[in-house]
Amino acid sequence: MSSLLKVGELAKQTGLSTRTLHYYDEIGLLVPSHRTEADHRLYSAQDIIRLQQILSLRQLGFSLSEIQACLESPDFSLPQVIDWHRSRLHEQITLSQTLLKRLNGIAKELETTQSVAVENLIETMETITMTEHYFTPEQQALLENRLQENEAEWRDLLTQIQSEMTKGTDFNSPTVRFLARRWLGSMKAFVRGDNDIYAALTRMYQTEGATVDSWGGMDTDTFEYMLKAVSFLTLGEVTESLIPVKKIFTPATQQVLKLGETAIRQINFDILGTEGFLLGFLTDKTNLAGQVLNEMGVTLETVQPLVKKWLGVRPKLPDGWQPPQLPFAMRAKRVIELALERAKATERSQITPEDLLLGILDEAKESGGLATYILKEELNVDLAQLEQQVEFAIARA
């Protein structure tokens, strides 16, 4: 009995969780050969060999039901599994070496020119996605169901993307940047946090091309266009991780953002969204946007508890965990882009608090965040009327 391993010991030695080993037992995939009088699991050397086969097949992309069928086949053997696993590892090593070479090239290019060709980024992403398999049957069925659930929204997004492609819109334009963020958000919602599915989907498009053009209604040209758009968006956010606040915001707007950030920190959130902007308008009594909101019955006293209601109050973060300046949420960045367009339309280079409020209302026409939800749904504010009142107040000032 001394050569037998308890479930906790086996979990520790293999890096698996005891819950996984319990589940394998429940479905009959790995039933321990022995049990104690108290019914505790004990694993023999043969059980461990079977576990090695299971783990190898899992890494090769087999589903649990496929693994069970393989292990129950009389023609199946451990040397066969090892050979398959070795072959797969050789492929991964080759791909990893190619990826390392391309990343080194990008790093060198950034050192010398402070920029990088989009083609190099695309090639690197292709290499990354090739390190994963295509979908398992379970994943395929899951994605087909999700596609049907969100088909109308997905096709509307594709229509907008293809329209910008046809017009040749610059990748750095606010419209394409917004579509890139929306596409990323849709993909994240589509795969629901499963990075393996996202990588497999990317590889499928990039390596199979026209054979999968009909899947999801996205052809390869559209897919490549969005990859480039995301590359521009990502590279821009990496090289400019924080929006240059002093450059594009007036001092009054900077004060609004500071007050909004303070209010958001009080509920221990670590990102600044449109609700933070709204709190900033209302906390600062001197800005025109806040004054218009007050005139329409929107006050700090009414909004503050509603923000807490919808965001909640998180546990206090440990010292040093919050950044010195809170990053903007993706929707807040879109609002800033729209506010800057408002400012530039009147030949100004900086965003006023009024521009920022109008940016929130403009963004609400695309989707809308918590700020506009609170205004419209909780406080019954007519957003079109609010826009008119802000524009009227600007004209009077």
Q: What is the pLDDT of residue 142?
A: 62
Could you give all domains of the chain from N- to C-terminal order, each with its CATH number?
5-71 (1.10.1660.10), 89-239 (no CATH), 245-396 (1.10.1780.10)
Question: Which of 14 and 284 is assigned the larger pLDDT?
Answer: 284
Q: What is the pLDDT of residue 381?
A: 93
Average pLDDT, rounded, for the chain: 75
pLDDT in tens, 340-378: 999 988 889 899 999 999 999 999 888 888 899 999 999
Q: What is the pLDDT of residue 258?
A: 93
Helix extents (H) in the chain:
7-14, 18-26, 45-59, 64-71, 78-113, 118-129, 137-149, 151-167, 174-191, 195-208, 220-239, 245-248, 251-265, 274-283, 288-295, 300-311, 330-345, 353-364, 370-373, 383-396
Integer CA distances (angstroms), 169 to 173, 224, 225, 231, in order: 7, 15, 11, 15
Average pLDDT over residues 174-192: 70
pLDDT in tens, 187-239: 666 665 555 665 666 555 555 443 343 445 566 677 777 777 776 666 555 44
What pTM does this model have? Answer: 0.44
